[in-house]
Amino acid sequence: MNLKGWRISRLALFGALVALAATAGCERKRNQTGGSSDKAGASADTSKPVLIGHFASMTGSEATFGQSTDNGIRLAVAERNAAIDAGTKKGRKIEVKTLDDAGKPQEAGTAVTRLITEDKVVAILGEVASGLSMAGGPVAQQYNVPMISPSSTNPAVTQIGDMIFRVCFLDEFQGYVMARFAVEELKAKRVAIVFDQGQPYSKGLADFFEKSLKEAGGEVATRQAYDTNNPDVSAQLASVKEAKPDAVFLPGYYTQAANIIAQARKLGITVPFLGGDGWDSDKLEEIGGDAVQGSFFSNHYSPEEDTPLVKNFVATYKAKHGVAPDALAALGYDAANLLFDAIDRAPSLGGKDLAAAIAATKAFPGVTGEITIDGNRDASKSAVIVEIDHGKRPAVKRYAPQ
């Protein structure tokens, strides 16, 4: 009961802060908090490690998202600190604090508030799910603390404000590459869309895919929505089966996607399923089994890629965590390294200086490709289409940025 009461009071505090910012003039509030965090950054002891925060879904139905990203971030931190210890790199050591949001928007807002007000982190990494980044982002913006989302692909995330960045491509691009792939490579003209109405990520991707599909000469066979609280999708799938599509676009997250594909195969839907980067988890095959084989999804990188940077990352990650890194681990690793690069370049660790340093990043060599932060604080980079092939994720097609 104590814990519960405490949580509620935190929530109330957050709500009160939001209300305060909305009514009592944001400008003054912003300057105040920005000023104090600048001072904290400047007066801090430089021999101490720099504390950064990470909020992620470490539990809940998208738990592998948070865990993979955290593994990637921690690998980047360990590598940097080891290099500084060995004297091969100059700069301050990094310490990362991770808070769990259990995949819930209200918890995400609370986690970011705690990281900033209690732990006084200089920057925030997170979240994977766009809906959660959009819950945590406004808090970081309000306190003038830079936040880098490793893998939220919905355009609205960085539109929160000038403190919010990302190191992955956007849903518009992802929808575009998948639509082109469907029409040009799979020769699928009629595509059914099944999306999660409760996730901005899924709905946004469905819209962008539909737009690009029509531009590429395809047509939408049927458009069906589901929500995560109703595991029964047989009604929607019956409509899909009746529409007789050449392929089904299913831009959800892996747990639901695997369940839906398994249910679809049971109902006798045999066409390939197409998805977005939300599919990227070993759990997809663990849950879906044979049903998901031969499906395709757009992703940030393929661990099968043959470049020294990727090979080295895959090898050290495997040695540390025992499994091959998925794209979320790779993006977590890239987001952390990009942040360290900015920390080294920034004149101070105050919110404004650090954000300016992040915004100035050009052609940063990441394992998920070269990252350039553009004027909208988004990353301009390429995407790959990977196939699900019995535990492997071979890249079948690569698309350069538009």
Partner 1 sequence: MTKFVSICIQTLTLGSLYALIALGYTLVYGILRFINFAHSDVVTFGAWIAFVVAGALGWAGTGSPVFAMPVILALAMGAAALLGFSIERLAYRPLRRAPRLNVLITAIGVSLLLQNAGQLDYLFGTQPQRMPRLLSEAPLFTIADVRVPTVDVVLVLLAAVLVVALQWLVFRTKLGRSMRAVSWNDQTAALMGIPVDRVVSITFMIGSAMAAAGGVLYGLKYRQLNQTADAVWVLLGLKAFVAAVVGGIGNVRGAVGGAFLLAGVEMFAAAYRTPQLRDVYVFGVLIAVLLFLPAGLFGKATVEKV
Binding site for partner 1 (CB under 8 A): 59-61, 63, 102, 197, 224-232, 234-236, 238-239, 241-242, 255, 259, 262, 266-268, 286-287
DSSP summary character for residue 142: H
Cβ-contact 280, 371 below 8 angstroms = no
Listed in order, strand segments (DSSP E) in 197-295 are 219-226, 247-249, 273-275
CB contact set of 36 (below 8 Å; sequence gap of 6+): none
What b/e string do you get for 9-18 counting C-beta neighbours within 10 Å, with b at 16 or more? Answer: ebeeebeebe
Minimum distance from CB of 102 to partner 1 (Å)? 7
Which lies closer to partner 1 via its Cβ, residue 265 or residue 397? 265
Minimum distance from CB of 227 to partner 1 (Å)? 8
Minimum distance from CB of 390 to partner 1 (Å)? 17
Distances (CA, A) of 130 to 11, 42, 103, 200, 283: 21, 32, 11, 7, 20
Residue 123 DSSP SS3: coil
CA angle 41, 42, 44 (to 5 degrees): 70
Which lies closer to partner 1 via its Cβ, residue 20 or residue 267? 267
Which lies closer to partner 1 via its Cβ, residue 215 or residue 286? 286
Minimum distance from CB of 63 to partner 1 (Å)? 6
Which lies closer to partner 1 via its Cβ, residue 18 or residue 262? 262
Task: Single out the residue of 139, 279, 259, 110 nearest to residue 201, CA to CA.
Answer: 279
| CA dist., res. 20 & res. 14, Å (int) | 10
**Backbone phi, psi, residue 273, to 5°:** -100, 140
Residue 49's CB: how many other CB atoms inside 10 A? 14
Six-digit token string for 371: 């990252």
Minimum distance from CB of 359 to partner 1 (Å)? 37
Which lies closer to partner 1 via its Cβ, residue 326 or residue 353? 326
Minimum distance from CB of 265 to partner 1 (Å)? 9
Six-digit token string for 40: 């904290």
Minimum distance from CB of 194 to partner 1 (Å)? 9
Quick one: which H or E segment has residue 103? none
Which lies closer to partner 1 via its Cβ, residue 57 or residue 299? 57
Which lies closer to partner 1 via its Cβ, residue 262 or residue 324? 262
